[in-house]
Amino acid sequence: MALIPARGGSKRFPRKNIAPYKGMPVISYTIQEAEKTGLFDRVVVSTDDDEIASIATKFGAETVKRPPALAGDTVGLAEVCMDFLHTEKSAGRTWDILCCLFPAAPLRKAKDIKGTVDLITTGQCDFSVAVSEYPFPPNMAKIEVNGLLQFAFPEWALKKRQDLPKFVIDNGSTYAFSVPAFLKAKTFHGSPQKGYLMPRLRSVDIDEPEDLIIAEALDGLETP
């Protein structure tokens, strides 16, 4: 089961989920790549917005109307997934694995979705997430305290990068989990969890208008 949460509101980039990108709405790329995987019995868009619902239907997804209480910008997406799963159970439908696909990742490919979902093995890996490597040495990160900078990780600050463990970060595109484990943990970041390493050139999250320009510049570039 794939669920694409796509509310209508966005403070930093209004209507970003349906902003035009290379002639199509941003969300359409997520729908199409989910379908290409051949993994899912259903691909569903959860939204509070009629225009998003109409576009999602046009590109082949099912849609469900999100309750108004879950449409605000302070609502966590884990809550949206839990509400959806409870609704499905009430309708007599249960799922083993749910994949939550964020709609504003137009460069993510079907192979990235499949790679993340394929990591799920009940009891050995109940949660998986698409991750990317940090673009800068994370051990050199600094924080501001009382107007002055200091190392965030002083114990690692002067070490060579090759002497450090690999640092990765959730790239905000793809999550998968065993449904029973998720309903118990109530978070995307339960344990045991594995990460699918996704190239940074495909890890653009459309959060600001300029991200569309960055995505278009990177689209199609070969990655190692």
DSSP 171-211: EEEEEEEEHHHHHHH-STT-SSEEEEE--GGG-----SHHH
How far, rounded to the nearest angstrom, does the alpha carbon of residue 96 sit from its chain's CA centroid? 19
Predicted confidence at residue 177, as pLDDT, reads 97
Backbone angles phi, psi at 159, to 5 degrees: -80, 150
* Pick from 4-13, 102-111, 127-136: least confident: 4-13
Predicted confidence at residue 11, as pLDDT, reads 74
Q: Which helix (H) or strand (E) holds 133?
A: strand 127-133
User: What is the C-alpha to C-alpha distance for residues 60 and 155, in angstroms, rounded to an integer?
Assistant: 51
Pair of tokens at residue 139: 């051990």
What would the mean pLDDT of 59-82 be, rounded to a whole number?
88
Q: How many CB atoms lie within 10 A of CB 106?
A: 27
| Model pLDDT for residues 46-69, shown as the tens digit of each residue | 999 999 999 999 999 999 998 888
Predicted confidence at residue 222, as pLDDT, reads 64
pLDDT > 80? residue 71 = no
pTM of the model: 0.92
Predicted confidence at residue 42, as pLDDT, reads 97
For all residues of the chain together, what is the average pLDDT? 93
Spatial contact of 128 and 119, defined as CB atoms under 8 Å apart: yes
User: What is the C-alpha to C-alpha distance for residues 178 and 85, in angstroms, rounded to an integer?
Assistant: 12
